[in-house]
Structure 1
Amino acid sequence: MASPQNSTSGIRDNRNYGSVGDYLKEYIQPNSELSFVSAYFTVYAFNQLKDHLKDIDKLRFLFGEPSFLKQIDPEKTDKKSFKIEDDGLSLMNRLSQKRVARECADWIREKAEVRSIKIPNFLHGKLYHIQNDRVENAILGSSNFTVNGLGLGNARNVELNLIVDSDRDRKDLKRWFEDVWESKDIVEDVKEEVLEYLKQIYADYSPE
């Protein structure tokens, strides 16, 4: 995406004010520590950002809405299906799904912790907090971690996000994230379930 028309604004809307995806590309660096909150995480959003994500120190990803989980076959298995794919992607992208899913799984296994809110309709906000040594950057708003939510696709969602430009507020957001992240009464670890679902994609998926 080109530079935002309103370059002095802290708004990122995937339209006239720049995108969250470009914001992440600008501030994610080698050894960054990332703390993200989103209802969705998709492999194609990862693929769009993988050159920036591959050398981070770690990601803590919190799914803000557990409805992305559903039983695949409740009569026969406890496996769950995750919202891992982006809607409206080209056939070429669909055909590359196995490769992307494997790369994403390898990266999550090495770099990420993944947890989810347990309670439906409990956490609605989206947060992208980036820590580079003692320097913090953050953006807060409506964009999920999907290709179009981040403004990296051909059918970009119109979103409303705001760069957090106060040191106090960035630190407060980090403390808020850590408080929720460690709250075992409302949060559970789902990393192995995400990895298992990705394994199903790259092991079993064959395009029709």
Structure 2
Amino acid sequence: MTTFRYVVDNLGGNTAAAILRSYIKPKSLCSIASAYFTVSGFELVANQLEQCKRFRLLLGAEPGADPLRMAILDIWKNIDIRDSPKQAERAVKFFSQENVEIRLHPGPFFHGKTYILNHPEPIFEKQNNITTTEESERYRPTQLIYKGPTITKSDNAAALVGSSNFTYGGLYQNAELNLFDASGESTIELLTWFEERWQNSKDIKEEFLKLLQGYYKPFAPFWIYAKALYELYKEDLEGPEEGKPGSTIELADFQTAGYKSA
């Protein structure tokens, strides 16, 4: 029977989550670029990521979409299925560490996702003038020149590139299409691509943590009761619309006009 060597599609147990769990090494450096993130996706590989020396997550949702809102919707949807509040608490503990960073790419939207595992220190120099003698049609110039250590076989550098978002569906459930490079040959080029976007992205760590913390921190019964009362009576508390009298009696337009001119 023929088996896939490079393709990872989440079918027949050939999941992206299994690849990440198998290849992420303790005390390693890992960088992930994804349009979206969910705590249920993080939970699939949390045991491995928590042992990383440094971790970077770059989110790049399409225009008009909010990757943080998707993370919250995932929590609510799976509260009874996967105990997502506890997953959120674990994610907050992980992302609160100094060696863990998270940024949001301002655009243009990148649809490709990459998981760069056990990579060397991302040491780059920027050059202003780009010159090349290469004639390949596939060549794309970059201002960043990698100056870090040479990758050796013992580094176990690897990379997964394709359609899988850093979500439960992307890593485990959906039918996806990714290519896996276990040799590390593509690591420096992918790391350069990642660094280009990372340097121009916005740090959203504080916003990200505050958002997730609100979904597992316990509240005193008084505040739950106060919130319920506010939602029930907030229209009365906020007062009448501008230009309308403060009355519970519905007035016709000519009556409202008479009130305003009185």
Shorter-chain TM band:
0.7 to 0.9
Give the CA deviation at 1:98: 2.1
Indicate the residue corresponding to 2:6 in structure 1.
Answer: 10
The list of structure 1 runs, each at least 4 consecutive aligned residues, that deviate by more than 6 angstroms after superposition, is: none
The alignment status of 1:176 with 2:176, answered yes or no, reads no
Indicate the residue corresponding to 1:118 in structure 2.
Answer: 106
Give the CA deviation at 1:8: 4.6
Alignment partner for residue 54 of structure 1, among 50, 54, 70? 50
Indicate the residue corresponding to 1:103 in structure 2.
Answer: 90
CA contact (8 A) 1:142 1:161 kept: yes
SS where residue 175 of structure 2 aligns?
A: coil
The alignment status of 1:86 with 2:74, answered yes or no, reads yes
**Within 2, Cα distance between the matches of 1:90 and 1:42?**
13
Alignment partner for residue 69 of structure 1, among 66, 69, 75? 66
Give the CA deviation at 1:29: 1.6
Bigger proportion of residues as helix: 2
CA contact (8 A) 1:64 1:125 kept: no
Deviates more, 1:83-92 or 1:99-108: 83-92
SS where residue 103 of structure 2 aligns?
A: strand
Give the unaligned 5+ runs of structure 1: 71-80
Aligned length: 182
Indicate the residue corresponding to 1:141 in structure 2.
Answer: 162
Indicate the residue corresponding to 2:253 in structure 1.
Answer: none
SS where residue 37 of structure 2 aligns?
A: coil
Listed one character per residue, the Cα deviations across residues 171-193 of structure 1 (whole Å, up to 9, x for unaligned) are 1111111122112xxx2111111
CA contact (8 A) 1:60 1:112 kept: yes
**Within 2, Cα distance between the matches of 1:163 and 1:6?**
17
The alignment status of 1:38 with 2:34, answered yes or no, reads yes
Listed one character per residue, the Cα deviations across residues 62-105 of structure 1 (whole Å, up to 9, x for unaligned) are 002154428xxxxxxxxxx5321538647232xx2222211110
Change (3 A) 1:6 1:103: farther
Indicate the residue corresponding to 1:78 in structure 2.
Answer: none
SS where residue 55 of structure 1 aligns?
A: coil
Change (3 A) 1:167 1:107: closer
SS where residue 202 of structure 2 aligns?
A: strand
Indicate the residue corresponding to 2:212 in structure 1.
Answer: 198
CA contact (8 A) 1:10 1:163 kept: yes
Change (3 A) 1:27 1:149: same
Change (3 A) 1:11 1:17: farther
Read off the aligned partner of 1:128 and give its amino acid letter. Y
* Cα RMSD, aligned residues only: 2.5
**Within 2, Cα distance between the matches of 1:37 and 1:164?**
16
SS where residue 139 of structure 1 aligns?
A: strand
Bigger proportion of residues as strand: 1
Change (3 A) 1:40 1:103: same
Deviates more, 1:24-33 or 1:196-205: 196-205
CA contact (8 A) 1:39 1:68 kept: no
SS where residue 201 of structure 1 aligns?
A: coil
Change (3 A) 1:51 1:123: same
Read off the aligned partner of 2:95 and give its amino acid letter. I
